[in-house]
Amino acid sequence: MMCLTQTVHIFGVFCMLISSGCCLQHSAMWSLDTAADMHGWATMTFEVGNLTLIQQNYATAGITALFPFNGWKIARPQKCFAPVKHQQTSPDGMFTCLMLDPNYAENWRAIWTQIKPLVDKGSIIGIFLGDEQLYFGMQLSDVKLIADLIRIDWPRAIIYMNEAPDVAMCNYRKDNTTIFEVDQCIPQNIDWFGFDFYSSEAVSWSGPEYTYTTAVYPRFSRTDQRSVPVSLGYQDGNLSADEANALDTFCTKNAREFLKFGLEDPRVVGLFPFHYNGGVTHPDGSITGGAGIANLKKCSATYKAIGEMIIAAGPGGTSQDPAHNPPVPDAHGAFVEPACKTAIPAPPQLWPWCSRVNPPANLRQARDEPSRDH
């Protein structure tokens, strides 16, 4: 757990910043779904699709939800190929890729009918469009279609999507095709955009900070669009006591760095680390079955303290400056996408995960590469 001096200092800085209407509004975590685990430090879920559980979380702890909507995409009839070696996750480089579901509109209308009573009650406040959809083949035009459709039916929805690091940091997807063309924005009806990036070095936080500033924010066409950084909080496999302690120590440092980022950057609306659930922690400190934040005492305490501060700030101490102000359609019922004219620099040459050729230059050891396909 953070020492008292550090906690008081961070809380003081936090209070000073929120007094000017700045900074974080939400605390959540991947694979965190029940009020019993979240009470007092988490504000929302975004992976829970069980309407009964959503209602229970809201009734017992005031926890709201972004409803996960998956009915806008399906697997393509044929697999796709990842030509760059460090993108490959199968021996032959083939992977299941995605396309727009022809029935996306009907699927959305069916879900909207189901969730609208909870929207009216305030327990569901938006939609989560899923994780790594562009990375696995969806097009920006597909994202625009579904986000525009949701906005027409639900003007005040918060529409959130998360991506792989390759999309935001490198502007390419798993099949090595480019995503954003020159002057192309993130669709205007995407309110929150985030990406995951995992490393065991300082680039774990410096890389996302740089990317949001140079490659994400210039692709925001609205001043009220927000970012949701996803930080490291897990490790696969079995860990010795020393390995678990090292991960816990790094995870704690990482959490503090992302808190600093969120306090200094008014576009960061929430911190959503990956992920909460893990395996079994044994009396000797070793972990079997993979480590999640729930297994890491110092890191878990740090994220819980961050969440408590965010909740203590209240709705007035948010990064919504100006307030969430979604676009409205034109006279023809359309959302015309603007151009984003700020030049986007090429990713740093020291980032081997952004290499689009074989072999990647100066490729680091596998443990230092960002994790993918989680």
Question: Which pTM was predicted?
Answer: 0.90
Q: Is the pLDDT of residue 345 over 90?
A: yes
Summarize pLDDT for 298-325 with one digit per residue, the tens: 999 999 999 999 988 876 554 445 578 8
| Best CA proximity match to 174, nearest among 101, 93, 100 | 93
**CA–CA gap between residue 61 and residue 38 (Å, rounded):** 8
Give me 29's structure tokens.
Answer: 């975590």
User: What is the Cα–Cα distance from 322 to 331, expressed in whole angstroms?
Assistant: 25
Give the Cβ contact number of residue 141 at 10 Å.
Answer: 10
**Which tens digit of pLDDT belongs to each residue from 21-71?**
456 889 999 999 999 999 899 999 999 999 999 999 999 999 999 999 999
